[in-house]
């Protein structure tokens, strides 16, 4: 299976059971492909920019836009696989997740298809957690970090308009600030149009493809 096929693959909890994480290199790291993590505070616009970049690389089998597994019902504004906490814990204990984290009272994971795409030399783009960057580098051979930012007042307005969380949850999201422990490879101050930010992310992905071919 190439990474384009995996782009459309269903990655709900049941579907992951047939797959094993990709082969590890002698150094124990998942490679040789790139894990490109898009991180930054809630409301900065990570998913928005990822969606724009996804459209640019539609049909490009070298790029997989990871569909996260989250213990949150799938909403209208973000496609992810949904599973409950017991399912999450069972899969985690079986070692099915190449990367997982907890935040906002939720559990998040990347599924085995991510490890497979990396093993095939692909570039995997994923919305990740700032807090999980050290773990990502401990597991993956090549990690690139794109940090998306926006002023807190802008983020507050966006989260309120998005309407996915209530006021208390939004407050928690606005105040959450885990450290980004390395200098990001790219910072996108997402205060222009979504198209502008999406173009910058897309250009970074294209450069990563060129660098790894
Ligand atoms: N450049 C922009 N200009 C105006 N609105 C934007 C821009 N980028 C994103 N938005 C809007 O801001 C809201 C939050 O964006 P998005 O969901 O992409 O953020 P996020 O960083 O993924 O947040 P979270 O971590 O909470 O999922 C969305 O409703 C989106 O439409
Ligand atoms: O604050 P940190 O640890 O960087 O990020 C925590 C997690 O929360 C957000 O996801 P979502 O808004 O719940 O989809 C981020 O995308 C990340 O996965």
Q: For 122-138, what is each residue's pLDDT tens digit?
A: 999 999 999 999 999 99
- Pocket probe mutation, ligand 2, options 36, 37, 40, 42, max atoms within 8 Å of Cβ: 42
Domain limits, the chain: 3-212
- Residues 190-199: what's their mean pLDDT? 98
- Pocket probe mutation, ligand 1, options 40, 48, 128, max atoms within 8 Å of Cβ: 48
Q: Which ligand is nearest to the CA of 130?
A: 2
pLDDT digits (tens, 9 = 90+) for 52-94: 999 999 999 999 999 999 998 776 456 788 999 999 999 999 9
Give CATH superfamily name and number for 3-212. P-loop containing nucleotide triphosphate hydrolases (3.40.50.300)
Spacing, Cα 113 to ligand 1 middle (Å) = 26
The CA–CA distances, whole Å, from 45 to 35, 40, 103, 120, 147 equal: 19, 8, 17, 29, 10
46: Cβ below 6 Å to ligand 2? yes
User: What ipTM was reported for this prediction?
Assistant: 0.95
- Residue closest via CA to ligand 2's atom 6 equals 129
What's the pLDDT band for 24 if we cut at 50, 70, 90? low
What's the pLDDT band for 197 if we cut at 50, 70, 90? very high
Instruction: Give 171's contacts (C-beta < 8 A, 6+ positions apart).
Output: none
Name the CA dihedral angle for 198, 29, 181, 156, rounded to a multiple of 10 degrees. Answer: 40
Tokens encoding 53: 């970049």
| Ligand 1 atom nearest to 164, measured from its CA | 26
């Amino acid at each position: 299976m190439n990474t384009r096929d995996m782009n459309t693959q269903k990655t709900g909890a049941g579907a992951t059971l047939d797959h094993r994480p990709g082969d590890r290199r002698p150094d124990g790291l998942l490679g040789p492909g790139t894990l490109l993590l898009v991180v930054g505070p809630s409301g900065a616009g990570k998913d928005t920019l990822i969606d724009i970049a996804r459209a640019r690389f539609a049909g490009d089998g070298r790029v997989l836009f990871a569909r996260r597994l989250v213990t949150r019902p799938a909403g209208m504004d973000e496609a992810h696989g949904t599973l409950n906490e017991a399912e999450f814990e069972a899969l985690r204990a079986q070692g099915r997740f190449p990367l997982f984290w907890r935040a906002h009272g939720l559990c998040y994971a990347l599924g085995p298809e991510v490890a497979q795409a990396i093993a095939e030399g692909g570039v995997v783009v994923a919305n990740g957690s700032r807090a999980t960057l050290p773990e990502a580098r401990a597991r993956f051979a090549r990690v690139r970090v794109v940090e998306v930012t926006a002023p807190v007042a802008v983020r507050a307005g966006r989260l309120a308009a998005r309407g996915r969380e209530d006021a208390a949850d939004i407050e928690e999201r606005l105040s959450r600030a885990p450290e980004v422990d390395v200098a990001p490879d790219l910072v996108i101050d997402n205060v222009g149009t979504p198209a502008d930010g999406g173009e910058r992310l897309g250009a970074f992905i294209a450069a990563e493809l060129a660098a790894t071919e």
